Amino acid sequence: MRTWVAPGRVNIIGEHTDYNDGYVLPIALPLVTRCAAAPRTDGSVRVGSRQRPGEPVLVAVSDLAAERARMPGWARYPLGVVAEFIRRGHRIPGVDLDLDGAVPIGAGLSSSAALSCAVAIALRDLFAPGLTDRTLIDVARAAENDYVGAPTGLLDQSAAMLCTAGHALLLDVRAFAADTAAPRGSGHEQIPFDLAAFGLELLVIDTGQPHELADGRYAERRDQCAAAAAALGAGTLRDVTVTDVGRIADDVLRRRARHVVTENARVLAVAEKLRRSADPRGIGPILTAGHASLRDDFEVSTPALDAAVDAALAAGAHGARMVGGGFGGSVVALVDQDRTATVVEAVRRRFAGEGLPEPRTFVVVPAAGAHRIG
Catalytic residues: 156
DSSP per-residue letters across 187-217? SEEEEE--SGGGTEEEEEEE-S----GGGSH
Instruction: Give the containing element (helix H, strand E) for 137.
Output: helix 133-142
Output 339-344 pairs: Cβ under 8 A, ≥24 positions apart.
Answer: 339/315, 340/201, 340/203, 342/315, 342/316, 343/203, 343/311, 343/312, 343/315, 343/316, 343/317, 344/203, 344/205
For residue 164, what are the contacts with CB-CB under 8 A and spacing of at least 6? 28, 190, 366, 368, 369
With contact defined as beta carbons under 8 Å apart, do 127 and 149 qualify? no
End-to-end CA distance of the chain: 9
DSSP per-residue letters across 30-80? EEEEEEEEEE-SSSEEEEEETTSTT--EEEEGGGTTTTGGGS-HHHHHHHH
